[in-house]
Amino acid sequence: MESIWVAESNIRKRQSLSGDIKTDAVVIGAGMAGILTSYYLKQAGVNTVVLEAKRIGSGQTQNTTAKITSQHGLIYDRLIQVFGRQMAYHYARANEGAIGEYERLIQQKGIDCGFTKCSAYLYSRAQELPLKREAEAARSLGIPASFETDSELPFPVSGAVRFEGQARFHPLKFLAALAEEVTVYEETKVLKVEGQQVETDRGNVTAEHVIFASHFPFLNIPGYYFARMYQERSYVLALEGVPLPEGMYLGVDREELSFRAQGDCLLMGGGSHRTGKNQAGGGYEMLRKKAEEYYSGYRERFYWSAQDCMTLDGVPYVGQFSKRKPRWYVATGFGKWGMTGSMASAHLLTSLITGKDCPQGDIFSPQRQFTMKAAGELLSHSIYTAKGLAKHLLPGKTKDFVPNCPHMGCRLEWNPEEETYDCPCHGSRFDQRGQLIDGPAQTDCKKK
């Protein structure tokens, strides 16, 4: 169950850290956000190293659908209403700029990663008005957007919002090339951070600036990101022998699907749910039934799942980790838009660290104003957490380990889809023996 990106790439192995070192900046996490941030800091003259617990790109970057787009669902109309036009404009500019910067870098360095410009569409089978409002909101912020009624999809739609000038690529081929220009220590697990010292299982790194780019921050205090985010899983099939669209498509109706071409495959995704809330399974089965309905006779080449950090108001947290830690920084909560989010955060963090003006920092700031939507999401998230914590008092169902997440003690739930134990509170995942797969937990489950 590996992604098409893993099957079609080979990233050179790096050495582990071997003792204590000092540097200007240290980045925790060698995914897209970590590698890009390290690259731009180096370009700005900041000596930077990256620490990775496993391999470069082995986290969530390898499971993306790799859409480079400023079209992030029905977001711009909401951003204008909630944060005001100026902050909504900053969000739009940051993400539009990310698309252009990927194109510039890829062309400048001659990176062979299948970068393809195309349009991105939000579609609905049932409603037009929200799409029309979104198209108008995006246009008002300077994004080339239009409302359409035609599509390349194998079913009729009521309408679609088209964003021009978007792109798709092979993320691991891009990452492999860019990682050659930065210093990465693989298989070097960060254990804790105190002040400007990062302790790992291979030695300590002392740095003036510490950047957390490890998907979900593993430190609970300060920052309290565990209370401000949750994680979602979704599923992808790579299909051969089916018509390939030129554009990229994402449904806005409940339980709708996404579509994009990659080589001779169609990537069809969907089935999103909160991590740890999939006791019945069925994500892949649903996609396969849809594939048979739309593309009879298809061939399935790959299938995999993705995990995304969701913030309470739908906007990433990028900037100062906490007011109490002025030289700690974070990039997290990209939702389902990690490619543009990674590039935008790399530029923002580089500006903050090098003292340059960055007006776009207001919309992404982890210390931004708490909205009504965020308050509602916080309540819902707190209920899930309370239930998970209460369940840990019940007898466990496993033979070999205590089925409580070592992150904060929530009771793990069995995921039959992928045969893992998942935490419904914050999204940590473990295999059948209790060994850690995904954080924010840092350790395996306790043995009985």
Confidence tier at 394 by pLDDT (50, 70, 90): very low
- Give tens-digit pLDDT for 165-175: 999 999 999 99
What percent of the chain has pLDDT above 70? 93
Q: How far apart are CA 95 and CA 73, in angstroms?
A: 13
Predicted confidence band of residue 385 (pLDDT cuts 50, 70, 90)? low
- Whether the pLDDT of residue 61 is over 80: the answer is yes
The reported pLDDT for the residue numbered 296 is 87
More confident residue, 188 or 281: 188
Per the model's pLDDT, the better-predicted residue between 210 and 398 turns out to be 210
pLDDT at 412 over 90: no
**Residue spans of beta strands (DSSP E) within 333-424:** 413-415, 420-422
Question: What is residue 19's predicted lDDT score, i.e. its pLDDT?
Answer: 93
Q: Read off the DSSP letter of residue 411.
A: B
Residue 143, pLDDT > 80, answer: yes
Q: Of 6-10, 106-110, 338-342, which gets the smallest average pLDDT? A: 6-10
> Is pLDDT above 60 for 217?
yes
pLDDT at 382 over 90: no
Phi and psi at 168, nearest 5°, equal -140, 160
The span from the CA of 113 to the CA of 105, in Å, is: 11
Indicate if the pLDDT at residue 60 is higher than 60: yes
Task: State the first-to-last Cα distance of the chain, in angstroms, to the nearest integer.
Answer: 30
Apex CA 405: angle with CA 402 and CA 408, to 5°?
Answer: 125
What domains sit in the chain, N to C, each tagged with a CATH number?
4-65+173-227+314-369 (3.50.50.60), 388-436 (2.102.10.10)
User: How far, CA to CA in Å, does 254 sit from each of 191, 250, 273?
Assistant: 40, 11, 11
pTM: 0.90
d(C-alpha 224, C-alpha 29), whole Å = 19
Average of per-residue pLDDT across 366-370: 82
**What is the predicted pLDDT for the residue at 280?**
77
Q: Is the pLDDT of residue 83 over 70?
A: yes
Selected residue with higher pLDDT from 408 and 269: 269
Q: How far apart are CA 35 and CA 176, in angstroms?
A: 10
**Which residues, in sequence order, are CB contacts of 84 under 8 Å at separation 6+?**
none
Whole-angstrom distance, CA of residue 282 vs CA of residue 288: 10
Q: Is the pLDDT of residue 377 over 60?
A: no
What phi and psi values does residue 372 have, to the nearest 5 degrees? -65, -40
Report d(CA 213, CA 31) in Å as an integer: 8
Average pLDDT over the chain, rounded to an integer: 90
Q: Lowest mean pLDDT of 274-288, 327-341, 391-405, name the range.
A: 391-405
At 284 the three-state DSSP class reads: helix
Would you call 130 helix, strand, or coil by DSSP? helix
Question: Does residue 379 carry a pLDDT above 90?
Answer: no
Q: Give yes or no for residue 375 having a pLDDT over 80.
A: no
Predicted confidence band of residue 330 (pLDDT cuts 50, 70, 90): very high
Percentage of the chain exceeding pLDDT 90: 70
At 393 the pLDDT is: 46
Residue 294: both structure tokens together? 């739309």
Average pLDDT score over residue span 90-104: 97
Tell whether the model's pLDDT for residue 43 goes beyond 70: yes
Strand blocks (E) in 241-311: 248-251, 258-262, 265-274, 299-311
Average pLDDT over residues 15-34: 96
CA dihedral defined by 184, 185, 187, 190, rounded to 10 degrees? -100
